[in-house]
Amino acid sequence: MTPNYSPASNGARDEISELIETLNTTEQRLEELTGGEVDAVSDSQGHTFLLRRAQEQSRHAEAKKQAAILNALPAHIALLNQEGVIVSVNEAWRQFATANRLQGPDYGLGVNYLEVCDRARGAFSAEAREVGVGIRAVLDGTRKSYTIEYPCHSPTEQRWFLLTVTPLAEDRPSGAVVMHLNITERRCADDKIKRLAAIVDSSADAIISKSTDGLISSWNPAAETLFGYSAAEIVGRPMKVLIPPELSFEEVNVLAGFAPGELVRNLESIRVRKNGDRVDVSITISPIKNPEGDVVGVSKIIRDITERKQREAEVRFNAQRYRLLVEATTAIVWDTPASGEFEVEQPGWSAFTGQNFKEYRGWGWLKAIHPDDQRETAKVWSAAIESRSTYEVEHRVRARDGTYRNMMVRAVPILADDGSIRQWIGIHTDITEQRRIEQELKEAKVAAVVRENTQRYNFLADSVPLIIWTARPDGNLDYYNKAWFEYTGLTLEQTKDWGWGAVVHPDDLKLCVERWTRSFTTGKPYEIEYRFKRVNGDYRWFLGRATARRGDNGEIVQWVGTGTDIDGHKRAEAALRRTQTGLESKVADRTTELSKSNAALREENAERKRAETALQRQQDELRVLFDMIPAMIWFKDTENRILRVNKRVAESAGKSVEEIEGKPSVEIYPNDAARFYADDLEVMQSGVPKLEYVETLRNNTGDEHWVQTDKVPVRDAEGKVVGIVVMAQDITERKRTEAALHSSEIQLRQSAKMEAIGQLAGGIAHDFNNLLTVIIGRAQLLESRKDMTAPILRSVNLIHKTGLRAAVLTRQLLQFSRQQVLQPQIIDLNILVPEMQEMLRSLISEDIDLVIKLSKIGKINADPGQVQQVVMNLVVNARDAMPKGGKITIETSNIHLDEEYCANNGDSTVGPYVMLAVADTGCGMDEKIRARIFDPFFTTKEQGKGTGLGLSTVYGIVKQAGGSIYVYSEVSHGTVFKVYFPEVAGKVHSGGSSAVHSSIVGGGETILLVEDEEGIRELLSEILTSLGYTVLMAMDGEQAIRCSEDHKGKIQLLLTDVVMPKLNGKEVALRLHPVRPEMKVLYMSGYTNHSIVSRGVLDAGIEFLEKPLSPTSVAAKVREVLDRQ
Amino acid sequence: MSQPAQFKFRLYVADDAQNGAQAKSNLIALCRTYLPDRHEIEFVDVLLEPKRALADDIFMTPTLIKLSPLPTRRIVGTLSQIETVLRALGLEIAEQ
């Protein structure tokens, strides 16, 4: 602002100076008063006075601010005066000017911009001049503003500028502001957008976008084509107008499913056109993001896939049709690569042949071709592959069921563009049926022709008044025509081959045979005159001729012959001769004829007689046969009258045949007739026989018999049912046998069951005995020690006792399993039982009477200890059945077991037995319990009272002794067990068992101990060593033999286990015997095999120690054996 | 409880002069801190509206007038000493 003042006088100057002085003072004073915090003061008239500091500050601040703003702007700004001269520029202009070395050191200040524009040359001079015009228009006020975008490319880059010219003041011409803004970036972006837009616009796919509010925000021409909406119509409308209502869910939260980082998503769906049509589309959805990464919209690329869909559907349809075709056809469809090998699975082939993929893979399929066709198939197939031509062959293929089927094969190659085979597609068609029918037709045709020819020939042959015959080259005749049969009255069978000889007149036969033989052997024609016997018996003359029919090679294939009746001719000849020979011969002839007819008459009479006799005999035979049939037979009419019966019926009814025949059924069978008749009627009405049904029939004594009946309707010649034949077989006996068989089957099953359990138990017992030997032996050794305290000794005693009880149990197991070693001897039950009396009484309580009834009986052969066991077990059982007291009766007697008993009681044999019966008056048992009493571990006693082995043991012992048990029981009355032992002859063994050694005696001998169980070996060694013996130990047979070899001194005893791996006890003894013949042998075992025991009985001369062993028993037995001479 | 009183201020400044600008920013800061949501400020430029300054009897800028709650108070200066200003406005008690 330019101060505006007029020149003043000196006085005035002074006054001004004074006023300024006052102003300064006043201002200073005001500053002081307001502490510098006040900017302006006002007087009461409202005149505001801005303090100088504030004024200066304001002024500077304004200018600085404006300069700062101008300089901060990125636009190049220049201020032009009214003439267009640059009067001021901003920082950006300066930099721009510097960079362009535009207008000298003052950055163009003072330059006339209009002239710059007008003077412009080069590429953009046109734009520059235009700018000049624009600036002038603004400067002279004809335009409010002027804007232009112009390119201003530097050699290195493309640049665009936006030039804006605005007047400095609105109301008066006072210059203008020129602003250049570099818009290169924007232009580039715009270009990019334009390019993109062009792409979008030219895209064949509809490309549309949606803003976050769900409205369509862009729409390209393809979208218009696809949907029918123009961009103007649709932009701004909701996207859902394009979506079928039922698919609206697709658009809900269309971006919600996008995983982080997922850019696009594809789906196939249906959209709606403007005209309402639906269109199949594929849609690619992607979110539109702003530079900050926020989703601001969604873009969609939509493609019309109607055609593709259709194509797909077509392809699908074709594939399905092809598959159905393959499935529906009975043919096998297959494909192979060029090589002709099966490389992928061929379901059709597999289904037909049953070959699996592995089998038919490669050339494996050839194996399913008939062996005779394989070579040809392979040849044709290889040729087809070679020539790339259609492959056609017929061969037989083995079907799944193993039969071969005729197949027509046709395969065509699919060629690739280069002419190579890409694939073979082949079809096997089953033409078996076709072939068969063809064959049949062919055969039928041939047969028809043959038949026709034959018929024609036969007709001819039969029509001629000649006998015609044919013969095979060997001279056997095989055909005659009708004339022959009519003449001879014979059948083909009778005259075939050489049968014709029978009708040749005996006088002619020899010549005839000679000639015929000569002809068919030489091939020369045959001719003869001979006589044949006519059916009525007389002979007529024939001229026989035959010629050979020859084959292509001259060989004879057939003889064809004829016989011509020349009898008339012959007769004429004869008559002539007879006339010539005279009367006598005539008379003679006559006489002969007469006698001939007489003879014929006689013959006829005899014949009739013979026929009558034969008939009679036949009738008699039938009657006998009728009666002999081992069944009752009735013949009844429809009225239930008995017309015929055989003898069996009469016997059963207790009447004679004559008494029965002709009577109504009800008269003979008053009780059963109605029942029988019901069945009869059924058969007669239905006409269907009723066979093999079982019913009862009461005989005359009233006994009911089981019969198996067959009823058959009888028909007359017209087929009308006129009666019924009933045949009944008495099967009562069979029924009885069946029942008996059933019962013995049960017995047998019981035996088998016991046997099986026995085997099992025996196996276990062996191991048990080994264990128990150690337990009992060790316990006994401990008991004998002096240093035992009382409490320990009690425990050891308990172990010992328990071990012994276990041993008893084991023995029982072995007993009933019949695997115990028996030492049977002849015993007398009448001695054995009374001896047990005391012991038995001690078993039963006071309120039970024990009665022993002995009869005179035979001896038995059994192990006495076991028989005692039987008695004891039975008595204990009887006792337990009578908790409230009663009576036990033990009885002995002889008995003969008959066939009936044996049949009903399993494996017993007929013969004399000794019976031991134990009867009680106890509770008895029902059938169910009785059936199980011998089962091991079956007990009716309380838990813990019985082992369930008592009766099983009895069973085992008795069976092993060859005996049998019979049980009879009645509930609440009692039970009786009858034990039968086979009776034997012989004397009772009186020696008894060897005395038990009361004291243990040792010795100094050497004993070879062989035992595979370590516990037992140690125990025995300890026992024997303590007794003073020298013990050599071996753990098996082989070691024992080595031991014997190594030991130089004597070995007095071999103590060996029987059952051992490798060599068993007996084998060891046999091996050592030759070396040490003086050595004695003592076996031990808890279980026996057949090496020393045959059939459960100890072989004679064998010393045996039964397990479980106890120190006492071992010591005693060893001493006994050693001492034995 | 009664609604806290609404404060109504009028600040007179002269153009963009330094003290006024300082007073302006100090006042805004003070209101934000102590009277959030219960203040109204009117700025009046005495150079533009001298008549209003006359009416309000303003003879210096910057001058702050507290129009409500009553009683009316006038404070001249940059309002830099916040405690003094608060006391003058009767706000220190209300805040405790």
Q: Could you write out the DSSP letters of every residue in A855-892?
A: ----EEEE-HHHHHHHHHHHHHHHHHT-TT-EEEEEEE
Residue A4 has pLDDT above 50, yes or no: no
Residues of A in contact with B48 (CB under 8 A): none
Contact with chain B for residue A783, Cβ under 8 A: no
Residue A561: in which H helix or E strand, if any? Answer: strand A556-565
Residues of A within 8 A of B20 (CB-CB) are: 39
- A57 CB neighbours in chain B (<8 A) are 17-18
pLDDT at A326: 62
**C-alpha to C-alpha distance for A6 and A935, rounded to whole angstroms:** 158
Tell how far CA A917 is from the center of its chain. 59
HEC states along A993-1061? CCCCCCCCCCCCCEEEEECCCHHHHHHHHHHHHHCCCEEEEECCHHHHHHHHHHCCCCCCEEEEECCCC
CA closest to A62 among chain B residues: B16
Chain segment A58-89, per-residue pLDDT in tens:
777 777 777 777 777 777 888 888 888 887 88
Cβ-defined contact of A42 to B76 (cutoff 8 Å)? no
To the nearest whole Å, the CA of B24 is away from the closest chain A CA by: 13
* More reliable by pLDDT, B62 or A691: B62
Which residues share a beta bridge with A455?
none
Q: What is the largest CA-CA distance in chain A?
A: 234
Residues in A closer than 8 angstroms to B13, CB to CB, are 39
pLDDT tens readout for residues A1040-1079? 999 999 988 889 999 988 877 778 888 888 888 888 888 9
Indicate whether A897 pLDDT > 60.
Answer: yes
Say whether residue A39 is in contact with chain B using an 8 A CB cutoff: yes
A47 contact residues in B (CB cutoff 8 A)? 50
B55 touches A: beta carbon within 8 Å: no
Q: Which of A34, A36, A40 sits opposite B46 (nearest CB)?
A: A40
End-to-end CA distance of chain B: 16
B15:A50 CB<8 A: yes
Contact yes or no for A46 and B47 at CB 8 A: no
| pLDDT of res. A580 | 58
Average pLDDT over residues A317-321: 73
pLDDT at A1036 over 60: yes
Q: Are B47 and A40 an interchain contact pair (Cβ–Cβ within 8 Å)?
A: yes
Q: Do A34 and B17 touch (CB under 8 A)?
A: no
Question: Is the pLDDT confidence value at A817 over 80?
Answer: no
Enumerate the residues of chain A whose CB falls inside 8 A of the CB of residue B51. Answer: 46
Name every chain A residue with its beta carbon within 8 A of the beta carbon of B78: 37
For residues A56 and A369, give the distance between their C-alpha atoms in angstroms, rounded to a whole number: 120
* Partner residue opposite B59 with nearest CB, options A42, A50, A53: A42
Q: Does A565 touch chain B (CB under 8 A)?
A: no
CA–CA min distance A2, chain B (Å): 22
From chain A, pick out residues whose CB is under 8 angstroms from the CB of B60.
Answer: 34, 38, 40-42
Minimum mean pLDDT range among A260-274, A370-384, A466-480, A674-688: A260-274
Q: Contact B77/A43, CB-based, under 8 Å?
A: no
Give Cα separations from A21 to A17, A25, A438 (angstroms). 6, 6, 150
Model pLDDT for residues A644-664, shown as the tens digit of each residue = 888 888 888 888 888 888 888
| Choice among A55-69, A509-523, A934-948, A990-1004 with the minimum mean pLDDT | A990-1004
Q: How confident is the model at residue A448 (pLDDT cuts 50, 70, 90)?
A: confident
Q: Which residues contact A239 (CB under 8 A, 6 or more apart)?
A: A210, A214, A215, A216, A251
pLDDT at A996: 38
Judged by CB atoms closer than 8 Å, whether chains meet at A47 and B76 is answered as no
For residue A568, give the 3-state DSSP assignment.
helix
A34, A40, A47 ranked by CB distance to B14: nearest: A40
Q: How far is B2 from chain A, CA to nearest CA, in Å?
A: 38
Could you report the per-residue pLDDT of A561-607, keeping only the tens digit for each? Answer: 888 787 777 777 776 666 656 655 666 677 777 778 777 777 877 87
- CB–CB contact B13 A43 (8 Å): no
Asked if A35 has any chain B CB less than 8 Å from its own CB, the reply is: yes
**A570 contacts A541 by C-beta, under 8 angstroms:** yes
Q: How far is B45 from chain A (nearest CA, A)?
A: 11
Chain B interface, best mutation among A27, A31, A33, A42, by max B CB count within 10 A: A42
From chain A, pick out residues whose CB is under 8 angstroms from the CB of B25. none
β-partners of residue A1055 are A1009, A1082
- A398-436, pLDDT tens digit by residue? 888 888 888 888 888 888 777 778 888 888 888 888 888
Q: Are A881 and A919 in contact (CB under 8 A)?
A: no
Looking at the partner chain, which of B20, B54, B59 has a beta carbon nearest the beta carbon of A41? B59
ipTM over 0.85: no
- Cα–Cα nearest to B57, from B3, B9, B12: B12
Q: Does B48 touch chain A (CB under 8 A)?
A: no
How many Cβ contacts (< 8 angstroms) between chains A and B? 74
In which band, very low, low, confident or very high, does the pLDDT at B96 lie, cut at 50, 70 and 90? very low
- Which of A27, A39, A57 best tests the B interface by mutation, with the highest count of B CBs <10 A? A39
Contact check, Cβ <8 Å, B20/A61: no
Chain B stretch 60-89, residues whose beta carbon is closer than 8 A to a beta carbon of chain A: 60-62, 76-78, 80
3-class state of residue A118 by DSSP: helix
Tokens of A550: 């020859």
B15 vs chain A: nearest CA distance in angstroms?
A: 8
Distance CA A1051, CA A1080 (A): 9
Nearest residue of B to residue A52 by CA position?
B17
The CA dihedral of A1013, A1014, A1019, A1021, to the nearest 10 degrees, is 100
Asked if pLDDT for residue A130 goes beyond 80, the answer is yes
Give me the pLDDT at residue A1054, please: 92
Least confident piece of the model among A256-260, A465-469, A514-518, A928-932: A256-260
B-interface mutation test, from A31, A41, A48, most B Cβ less than 10 A away: A48
Q: How confident is the model over A960-1008, as pLDDT tens digits?
A: 788 888 888 888 888 899 899 998 887 775 543 333 334 567 788 899 9
Asked if A656 reaches chain B (Cβ–Cβ under 8 Å), the answer is: no
Hey, which residues 70-129 in chain A have their CB within 8 Å of chain B? Answer: none
Q: How many CA atoms lie within 13 A of A325 on its CB side?
A: 9
> A34 in contact with B at a CB cutoff of 8 Å?
yes
**In terms of CA atoms, which chain A residue is nearest residue B50?**
A46
- DSSP annotation of A245 reads G
Which residues of chain A lie closer than 8 angstroms to B50, CB-CB?
42, 46-48
